[in-house]
């Protein structure tokens, strides 16, 4: 945590204020003191517009608009005491994460006559009809940080509302982007102790408010310990290697849904001059009676006598997700490195960077469930996992405006194996651009037949669980994207993305007669302007 704050401070605009309290014969006859404090302000803002066409499974056209704004204030009255205040706002018709741990909020429009879905929290808040993709408007300012930190002899002590992820933020070094959702934030107490190359952090979380305040249930607790072995990425030139190896264990519980989870997250990053390797494995286990696990293969039947609980307990076992990233710099100066390139992209404009050629590889796996496409009315084990919604290997195939359908990946990746290859050329004169190719497949297939009891022919605007008849084949398709970025000297980044997705047979729809409709290709454009300061 300290390291992340220190890194950001290098690019923050520092405002110094001196508060002078002088003696006043009338009010402070015996008081004369001087104190000095600093106020550091950082933040981000963006405008994103996009349109996609022939989006599966219903070949819909969808446009999205997002305006994220965030500010973080840090006041430091003394060298060892800091106060933080963070605010986030996003006019947003993008969806948020689809897995809300144990939360069990009432969100269905027809709860009085729909007992099955009455108390299930929507993965996304659906649009007004079933012909378009689903979305979520998040246009209320959100307090994401309001805490203090105090440096003690044993470490840095913090308490208050702060960003947290309970170990569910796979690929933990994922950074802010104008396309991502609002951060998870909780009321926490933490102790962070830094032993130079080794550090330990302990968190006690009492209240979880996810995705800009969409969760109504606050009766949740989490206890987390994180240990990390690290070295400075800026020291690669002298030592030849830099690494970060961490392990996080969280014990999460939510009383209203009888949820008890053990969440293990192991991650690593290695910089070796012109080569980068990063890995992460997420392994959740435990039990739950939460309806929010329907789209992961959990029970879909609500109790008619106790709306806060589902009817049957479920065990989460053998569920895991894994992510791999590699980068290699081609050519360049003898003393250049991947670490230096990444650092320059965070701190300076394009015209001040050196020319670079970088090839990259991603590979990801999120386990699926044998009953993930349709949840039964009997107790079931959950073997499916979901990645953080900020992980978007491609523009279209894993777009966050994809509809939420059981067993199928969309804004949040589940039941999927994918591979991504990319190449980026950056020139100080024209910016960075390059192609990306992504291939993906389903891990578990839909083994159900078309009946009125287990498959819906149309997406529903009021149902929290959509069981479309898709997923009978593994092939999700191949996508080709092109991207362009240019950052001015005052840290404003212009971006353009275009893509075409050769939609795979996994998205073909089976109708009531057993006939299949093969989806057309999906294509789209996106433009963005963003800044970090």
- The CA distance from 464 to 409, in Å, is 16
DSSP for 336-398?
A: --HHHHHHHHHHS-GGGSPPEEEEEEEEEEE---TTSSS--SS--EE---B--TT--SSSSTT
CA distances for 110 relative to 105, 119, 128, 331, angstroms: 14, 10, 14, 61
Give the H/E segment covering residue 239. Answer: helix 236-239
Give the H/E segment covering residue 238. Answer: helix 236-239
Rounded to 5 degrees, what angle do the CA atoms 287, 405, 129 make?
Answer: 130
Tokens coding 6: 């220190």
Phi, psi of 244, rounded to the nearest 5 degrees: -145, 120
* C-alpha closest to that of 268 among 199, 336, 325: 325
Render each residue's pLDDT in the chain as its tens digit; 533 residues.
334 434 444 434 333 333 322 333 333 333 343 446 789 999 999 999 999 999 888 888 888 888 989 999 999 999 899 999 999 888 876 655 555 676 655 443 334 444 444 443 433 333 333 334 444 456 778 788 999 999 999 999 999 998 877 766 676 545 778 887 767 778 899 999 999 889 999 999 886 554 433 444 456 788 999 999 988 655 555 556 788 899 999 998 887 777 889 999 999 999 888 899 999 999 999 988 776 677 777 765 554 444 444 457 788 989 999 999 999 999 877 677 888 888 888 889 999 988 999 999 999 999 998 888 876 656 678 899 988 877 889 999 998 777 778 888 987 899 999 999 999 999 999 999 999 999 999 999 987 654 544 566 665 544 556 677 889 899 999 999 999 999 999 999 999 999 999 999 999 988 767 778 888 999 999 999 999 88
Bridge partners of 203? Answer: 190, 224
Sign of CA dihedral 393, 394, 399, 400: positive
Number of DSSP helices (H) and strands (E) in the chain, helices first: 3, 23
- The CA distance from 501 to 436, in Å, is 11
- Looking only at the bridges linking them, the beta strands covering 220-230 and 198-209 are antiparallel
Sign of CA dihedral 392, 396, 398, 400: positive
pLDDT at 388: 80
pLDDT at 290: 74
* C-alpha closest to that of 467 among 400, 399, 376, 397: 376
pLDDT at 291: 67
Tokens coding 315: 């065990």
- The CA distance from 31 to 21, in Å, is 8
Give the H/E segment covering residue 7. Answer: helix 2-9
Sign of CA dihedral 185, 186, 187, 192: negative
- Looking only at the bridges linking them, the beta strands covering 492-503 and 509-510 are unpaired
The answer to whether 368 and 414 have CB atoms below 8 angstroms apart is yes
* C-alpha closest to that of 440 among 387, 378, 513: 387
- The CA distance from 122 to 195, in Å, is 43
Give the H/E segment covering residue 8. Answer: helix 2-9
Burial class of residue 449 in the structure, from the number of CB atoms within 10 Å of its CB (0-12 exposed, 13-18 middle, 19+ buried): exposed
* C-alpha closest to that of 474 among 498, 445, 497: 445
Rounded to 5 degrees, what angle do the CA atoms 414, 417, 421 make?
Answer: 120
Phi, psi of 32, rounded to the nearest 5 degrees: -150, 110
- Looking only at the bridges linking them, the beta strands covering 381-382 and 314-316 are parallel
| Residues in contact with 298: Cβ distance below 8 Å, sequence separation at least 6, in sequence order | 288, 290, 291, 292, 314, 375, 380, 382
pLDDT at 176: 78
pLDDT at 522: 95
The answer to whether 160 and 189 have CB atoms below 8 angstroms apart is no
- The CA distance from 294 to 375, in Å, is 6
The answer to whether 317 and 297 have CB atoms below 8 angstroms apart is no
pTM comes to 0.84
Taking phi over 0 as left and psi of -120 to 50 as alpha, with beta for the rest, 18 belongs to beta
- The CA distance from 271 to 329, in Å, is 11
pLDDT at 458: 62
pLDDT at 25: 35
pLDDT at 133: 41
Cis peptide before 130, with omega less than 30 degrees from 0? no
Taking phi over 0 as left and psi of -120 to 50 as alpha, with beta for the rest, 56 belongs to beta
């Amino acid at each position: 945590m300290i390291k992340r704050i220190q890194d950001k401070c290098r690019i923050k605009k520092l405002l110094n204020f001196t508060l002078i309290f002088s003696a006043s014969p009338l009010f402070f006859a015996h008081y004369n003191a001087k104190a000095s404090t600093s106020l550091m302000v950082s933040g981000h803002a963006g405008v994103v517009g996009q349109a996609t066409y022939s989006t599966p499974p219903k070949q819909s056209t969808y446009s999205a608009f997002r305006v994220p704004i965030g500010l973080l204030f840090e006041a430091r009255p003394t060298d060892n005491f800091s106060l933080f205040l963070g605010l986030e706002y996003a006019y947003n018709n993008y969806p948020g994460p689809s897995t809300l741990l144990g939360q069990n909020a009432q969100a269905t429009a027809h709860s009085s006559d729909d007992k099955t879905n009455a108390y299930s929290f929507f993965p996304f808040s659906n649009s007004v009809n079933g012909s378009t993709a689903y979305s979520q408007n998040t246009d209320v300012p959100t307090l994401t940080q309001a805490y203090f930190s105090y440096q003690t002899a044993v470490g840095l002590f913090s308490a208050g509302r702060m960003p947290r992820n309970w170990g569910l933020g796979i690929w933990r070094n994922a950074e802010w982007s104008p396309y991502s959702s609002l951060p998870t934030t909780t009321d926490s107490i933490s102790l962070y102790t830094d032993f130079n190359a080794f550090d330990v952090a302990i968190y006690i979380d009492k209240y979880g408010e996810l995705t800009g305040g969409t969760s109504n249930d606050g009766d949740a607790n989490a206890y987390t310990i994180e240990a990390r072995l690290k070295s400075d990425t800026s020291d690669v030139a002298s030592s030849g290697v830099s690494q970060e190896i961490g392990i996080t264990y969280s014990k999460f519980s939510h009383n209203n849904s009888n949820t008890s989870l053990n969440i293990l997250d192991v991650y690593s990053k290695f910089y070796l001059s012109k080569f980068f390797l990063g890995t992460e494995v997420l392994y959740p286990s435990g039990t739950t009676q939460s309806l929010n696990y329907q789209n992961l293969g959990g029970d879909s039947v609500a109790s008619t006598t106790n709306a806060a609980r589902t009817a049957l307990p479920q065990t989460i076992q053998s569920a895991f997700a894994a992510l791999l990233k590699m980068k290699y710099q081609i050519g360049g100066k003898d003393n250049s490195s991947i670490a230096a390139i990444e650092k320059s992209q965070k701190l300076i404009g394009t015209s001040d960077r050196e020319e670079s050629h970088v090839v990259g590889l991603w590979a990801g796996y999120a386990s699926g469930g044998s009953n993930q496409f349709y949840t039964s009315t009997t107790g079931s084990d959950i073997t499916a996992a979901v990645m953080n919604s900020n992980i978007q290997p491609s523009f279209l195939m894993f777009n966050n405006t994809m509809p939420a359908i059981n067993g199928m990946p969309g804004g949040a990746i589940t039941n999927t194996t994918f591979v991504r290859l990319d190449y980026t050329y950056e020139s100080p004169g024209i910016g960075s651009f390059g192609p990306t190719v992504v291939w993906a497949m389903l891990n578990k297939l839909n083994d159900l037949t078309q009946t009125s009891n287990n498959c819906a022919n149309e997406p529903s605007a009021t149902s929290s669980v959509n069981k479309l008849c898709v997923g009978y084949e593994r092939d999700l398709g191949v996508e080709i994207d092109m991207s362009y970025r240019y950052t001015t000297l005052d840290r404003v980044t212009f971006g353009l993305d275009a893509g075409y997705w050769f939609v795979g047979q996994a998205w073909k729809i089976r109708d009531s007669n057993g006939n299949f409709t093969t989806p057309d290709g999906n294509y789209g454009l996106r433009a963005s302007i963003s800044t970090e300061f």
